[in-house]
């Protein structure tokens, strides 16, 4: 089983690496990192903070853009080119295809993240001349990567039953909702109506809470969340990812290709 998943993953990796959009997105990320040098110089001596913030944001944006532009096309391209039928005619399960696609795109994002991070650390090292604080930044990037893998699964889930454009729209919407969980929590706290409170509470737990993966502000001030919260965040990602996988499998199993 693992060999079949790995074969699809490597194939997805090779295919996505060849995608021109990937390089446009990478250049965009590098442009943001580069521009932080200039913007830092007009920020009243806050250049280190600006470079770190812009670097972390650029890497995060890179991950999200790859998912939106490449991930949404993953299944659709296969169906359009009829290659999906060839794969399904082999002794392979649809769940293994989903897992392979997820792993392949995760590998692509990991590679791009690693390359951009090296560039980011290089710029930072040139500016401050030390590697202090880099481990904190790596931790923030890693948590961002875990978030990205969760969004990949969301993207695959949607690309299983809609067009690439709609899949992108749905993925972006869930991303935005996932980063607005504190707003939903605020609504729940302020709400007097029990029914509305209950509805919002259900929505709060159903939609992904992506803000917990965001420790970019904490690492900037060399403070990281306690181990317990980090562990709970990883457990949350595993559980939510597995749930998404099961839903995607359910949809793919019932769809005729």
Among residue numbers 163 through 182, which ones bind other proteins (CB under 8 A)?
A: 175-176, 179-180, 182
Among residue numbers 105 through 124, which ones bind other proteins (CB under 8 A)?
A: none
Please give the size of the binding site for other proteins, defined by CB under 8 A. 26
Alpha helices (H) along the chain: 2-17, 20-41, 47-69, 74-80, 83-89, 94-128, 134-159, 164-178, 181-190, 194-206, 216-220, 227-254
* Shortest Å, Cβ 223 to other proteins: 9
Select from 54, 65, 145, 170 the one that contacts other proteins (CB under 8 A): 54
Cα–Cα nearest to 145, from 86, 62, 41, 68:
62
Question: Of 28 and 221, which has the nearer Cβ to other proteins?
Answer: 221
Question: Of 176 and 235, which has the nearer Cβ to other proteins?
Answer: 176
* Site string (33-52) toward other proteins, x via CB under 8 A: ------x--xxxxx--xx--
* Site string (195-224) toward other proteins, x via CB under 8 A: ---------------xx--x-xx--xx---
Question: Of 24 and 176, which has the nearer Cβ to other proteins?
Answer: 176
Instruction: Check residue 66 for interaction with other proteins (CB under 8 A).
Output: no
Question: Of 9 and 51, which has the nearer Cβ to other proteins?
Answer: 51
Q: Which residues contact 255 (CB under 8 A, 6 or more apart)?
A: 160, 161
Question: Of 152 and 210, which has the nearer Cβ to other proteins?
Answer: 210
Cα–Cα nearest to 215, from 56, 59, 67:
56
Cα–Cα nearest to 220, from 74, 7, 93, 57:
57
Cα–Cα nearest to 1, from 78, 103, 121:
103
Instruction: Check residue 158 for interaction with other proteins (CB under 8 A).
Output: no
Instruction: Check residue 101 for interaction with other proteins (CB under 8 A).
Output: no
Neighbours of 174 (CB within 10 A): 19
Tell me, rounded to whole angstroms, the distance of Cα 113 from its chain centroid. 11
Instruction: Check residue 191 for interaction with other proteins (CB under 8 A).
Output: no
Instruction: Check residue 127 for interaction with other proteins (CB under 8 A).
Output: no
Look-up of token digits 């875990």 = 146
Measure the N-to-C terminal CA separation of the chain; round to a whole number of Å: 22
List interacting residues with other proteins (CB under 8 A).
39, 42-46, 49-50, 53-54, 56-57, 60, 175-176, 179-180, 182-183, 210-211, 214, 216-217, 220-221
């Amino acid at each position: 089983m693992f060999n079949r998943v790995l074969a699809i993953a490597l194939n997805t990796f090779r295919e996505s690496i060849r995608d021109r959009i990937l390089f446009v997105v990478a250049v965009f990320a590098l442009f943001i990192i580069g521009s932080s040098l200039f913007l830092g110089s007009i920020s009243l001596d806050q250049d280190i903070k600006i470079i770190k913030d812009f670097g972390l944001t650029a890497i995060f944006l890179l991950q999200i853009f790859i998912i939106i532009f490449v991930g949404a096309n993953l299944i659709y391209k296969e169906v359009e080119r009829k290659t999906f039928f060839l794969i399904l005619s082999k002794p392979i399960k649809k769940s293994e295809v989903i897992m392979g696609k997820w792993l392949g795109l995760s590998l692509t994002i990991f590679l791009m993240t690693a390359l951009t991070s090296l560039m980011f650390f290089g710029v930072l090292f040139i500016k401050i001349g030390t590697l202090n604080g880099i481990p904190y930044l790596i931790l923030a990037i890693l948590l961002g990567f875990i978030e990205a893998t969760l969004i990949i699964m969301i993207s695959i889930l949607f690309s299983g039953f809609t067009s690439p454009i709609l899949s992108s729209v749905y993925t972006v919407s869930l991303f935005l909702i996932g980063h607005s969980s504190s707003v939903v929590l605020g609504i729940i706290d302020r709400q007097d109506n029990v029914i509305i409170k209950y509805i919002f509470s259900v929505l709060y737990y159903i939609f992904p809470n992506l803000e917990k993966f965001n420790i970019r502000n904490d690492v900037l001030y060399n403070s990281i969340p306690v181990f317990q919260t980090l562990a709970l965040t990883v457990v949350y990602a595993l559980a939510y990812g597995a749930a998404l996988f099961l839903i995607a499998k359910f949809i793919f199993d019932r769809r005729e290709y």
